[in-house]
Amino acid sequence: MAKATKKQALGRGLSALLKETADVNSVEDKNADKLVGNIIELDIKSIAVNPFQPRTYFDEEALHELANSIKTLGVIQPITVRKLEGNTFQLVSGERRFRASKLIGNKTIPAYIRLADDQEMLEMAIVENIQRKNLDPIEVALSYQRLIDEIKLTQEELSFRVGKKRSTVTNYLRLLKLDPIIQTGMRDNFISMGHGRALINIDSTTDQLNVYEKILRDKLSVRQTEELVKNIKSGTIDKATKKKALPKYISEGAAVIKDYFGNKVDITVNKNGKGKIAISFNSEEDFNRIKNLLK
């Protein structure tokens, strides 16, 4: 006969259950089996956010979409929490579901209960998020670094814990050597991890940034970037993809144009003095605002 699964604790018995399990701090404690490993509808106010959360950015639009889904269908997959003192809990995973539920005013949320110390909490939170969420490459790299620094894992041990090849772990960690501006560009999806991996091979931070700007300006693919970096390394082209200084009249004029339109302005000029002015816009509304300024 198949082993019966533990039932979700809901309804009128919840207060009594939490009273019985308030002093549970380990699996050996009395009534621990009524709490640990069960899914319980918890008061949202009793749950603290996870200080070890590797995700640092939550897309507001996606969060509202999830909130609308929860409003219609409920929380389909319970969050995971660990028990603290008394009847308080802390998120292990599921912060998007937690935030979305609060957004629509839900008072309770289904939660899978676990017991864990801070080190286990950190590891569970990071590993679960890496495996289940679409973290950006820098968030993944920072998560790997935290596991190495705070849990004292080797790269070999880390690769085993997260189920990735050691070479994959190494490639992510190397991204943290990039200039913070480039890391931010990767987090904002201006460039991909492939671009970042190519840029790592450039030793000079200044040259890294120059190539990064060229990627954005010329919309270089990863393959084109790799070729450019290869040429720089071999000396085929001057290390400075270094930008030539713009004439004074252009650099001063660019600031005036930028202030007028309130948007980023890119100006390129060739050796004959001919050039282009590119004005960035963020939305249809922003485009129409710029268009009206040109009338």
In one-letter notation, the amino acid at residue 179 is D
Provide the b/e sequence for 104-122 (b: ≥16 CB within 10 Å).
Answer: eebebbbbbbbbbeeeebb
Closest CA to 240 of 275, 277, 214: 214
How many angstroms separate the CA atoms of 173 and 101, rounded?
Answer: 34
How many angstroms separate the CA atoms of 198 and 169, rounded?
Answer: 16
Q: Is 83 exposed, middle or buried (0-12, 13-18, 19+ CB in 10 A)?
A: buried
Sequence-distant (6+) residues with CB within 8 A of 215 are 191, 195, 225
Positions annotated as catalytic residues are 95
Q: Which two tokens stand for residue 93?
A: 């995973």
